[in-house]
Structure 1
Amino acid sequence: MKVAISTDQGYVSAHFGRCLSYTIIEIKEGQILSREEIPNPGHQPGFLPQYLSEKGVSCIIAGGMGPRAQDLFAQKTIETVIGVQGTVDEVIEKFVNQELEVGDDLCGHKHGLEEHLPIEHHVEHIPQTAGIKICITSKGKDLDSEVDPQFGRAQYFLIVDPETMDFEVVNNPNIEAAHGAGIQTAQLISNKNVGAVLTGNCGPNAQRVLQSSGVKVITGVTGKVEDVLSKYKSEVK
Structure 2
Amino acid sequence: MKIAVTYDNGTVYQHFGHTKQFKIYTVEDNKVVSSETVDTGDSGHGALAGFLAARDVSIVICGNMGAGAQNALTEAGIQFFGGVAGNTDDRVQEYLEGRLCYQPNISCSHHGGHGGSCGGHHEGSCGGHEHCHH
Q: TM-score range by the shorter chain?
A: 0.7 to 0.9
Contact 1:17 1:42 in 2 (8 A): no
What's the RMSD between the two structures over aligned residues? 2.7
Moved over 6 A (4+): none
Aligned length: 120
Gaps of 5+ in 1: 118-131, 134-186, 193-237
1:19 is matched by which residue type in structure 2? Answer: T
Gaps of 5+ in 2: 122-134
Corresponding residue number in structure 2 for 1:18: 18
1:158-201 residue CA offsets vs partner (Å, 9 max, x unmatched): xxxxxxxxxxxxxxxxxxxxxxxxxxxxx898449xxxxxxxxx
- Separation in structure 1 between the aligned mates of residue 92 and residue 23 of structure 2, nearest angstrom: 10
Corresponding residue number in structure 1 for 2:28: 28
User: How many percent of aligned residue pairs carry the same amino acid?
Assistant: 25
Corresponding residue number in structure 2 for 1:109: 108
SS at match of 1:95: helix
Q: TM-score, normalised by structure 1?
A: 0.45
Contact 2:20 2:41 in 1 (8 A): no
Contact 1:6 1:61 in 2 (8 A): yes
Residue 105 (structure 2) pairs with residue 100 (structure 1): no
Distance 1:44 1:116, change over 3 A: farther
1:187-226 residue CA offsets vs partner (Å, 9 max, x unmatched): 898449xxxxxxxxxxxxxxxxxxxxxxxxxxxxxxxxxx
From the CA coordinates, give the structure whose radius of gyration is larger. 1
Q: TM-score, normalised by structure 2?
A: 0.77
Higher RCO (CA-CA < 8 Å; seq separation 6+): 2
